[in-house]
Amino acid sequence: MTTSMRIMSKIICLFDVDGTLTAPRQPIKPQVEKFLFETVKKEFDIAIVGGSDISKIKEQLGGGNITEKYKYVFAENGLVSYKEGKKLPSETIQSAIGEDALQDVINFALRYISELKLPFKRGTFIEFRTGMLNISPVGRNSSKEERDQFEEYDRENQIRQKFIQALKKEFPDLLLTYSIGGQISFDVFPNGWDKTYCLRHIQGYDEIHFFGDKTEEGGNDYEIYQSDLTVGHRVTGPEDTVKQLKILSALINEHRAKELSNVPMQCI
């Protein structure tokens, strides 16, 4: 790679949604959105990778045309992908593990939930998505307050952890990954269909900078944060993401300025 190519190095910033660009399940704040589109996008391409389905990501990021506003939008870890507004082909969980095994998992999970006593329960315990099952012991219909309460209860009682252990014990041969994300649920998907899945769609960049909040082992940003294909940034929330983007931008500008000053005269 020549010096002049390095100066032109192409960078894309890839953001998790919940806890990174927005508070959990909340819409993006206007000042964060403004910063992304009026500052960051001028310097880098920007992309989104969320575990939720596309309608929830659209809801949180402010509407219909987000697939055109971001270079890539990856819903369900990239099983549902858009590049510059166009949908890319996708695989499904049922094609990967087979209908029979999938139904065994669903039946076991429903049975397990039916025997679980919690301070409260609401509805929608299993959400079927393109590339994963999202399982919520308390139910996805919980209100914001109930989500906060369950998160606290789960922290003390390890409801999700124990549920995952039971699934692993019941299905030792299925090549499935269990991943805790958000406040009330966990995802179940074929091995390798974590957020790194979306990286196969990203081409033509020298650096992919990933920003996520659940980067610890078992968190839904762990694999992509650790991946050799990305530069990982661990954030504590949207304000921290903005702060780290400012630092990244300053570092890169400094680096580019340095490289420019190092270019021999005949190369300019």
Instruction: State the residues that interact with Mg ion by CB under 5 A.
Output: 16, 18-19, 213-214
Q: Is 25 labelled as part of a ligand binding site?
A: yes
How many CA atoms, within 13 angstroms, populate the side-chain half-sphere of residue 192?
Answer: 6
Question: Could you tell me if 215 and 222 are in contact, meaning their C-beta atoms sit under 8 angstroms apart?
Answer: yes
Q: Is 230 labelled as part of a ligand binding site?
A: yes
Residues 6+ apart with CB under 8 A from 117: none
What is the distance between the alpha carbons of residues 153 and 263, in angstroms, rounded to a whole number?
Answer: 59
Q: Is 140 labelled as part of a ligand binding site?
A: yes
What is the distance between the alpha carbons of residues 172 and 260, in angstroms, rounded to a whole number?
Answer: 55
Residue closer to Mg ion by CB (options 56, 256) is 56
Residue closer to Mg ion by CB (options 102, 214) is 214
Question: Residue 185 CB, nearest distance to Mg ion (Å)?
Answer: 13
Question: Could you tell me if 71 and 83 are in contact, meaning their C-beta atoms sit under 8 angstroms apart?
Answer: yes
Question: Residue 51 CB, nearest distance to Mg ion (Å)?
Answer: 8
Question: Residue 220 CB, nearest distance to Mg ion (Å)?
Answer: 6
173 is catalytic: no
Comparing CA positions, the residue from 133, 50, 49 lying closest to residue 94 is 133
Q: Is 129 labelled as part of a ligand binding site?
A: yes
228 is catalytic: no
- Known binding-site residues for alpha-D-mannose 1-phosphate equal 25, 129, 140, 147, 185, 187
Where in the sequence numbering do the catalytic residues fall?
16, 18
Question: Binding site for Mg(2+), residues?
Answer: 16, 18, 213, 225, 230
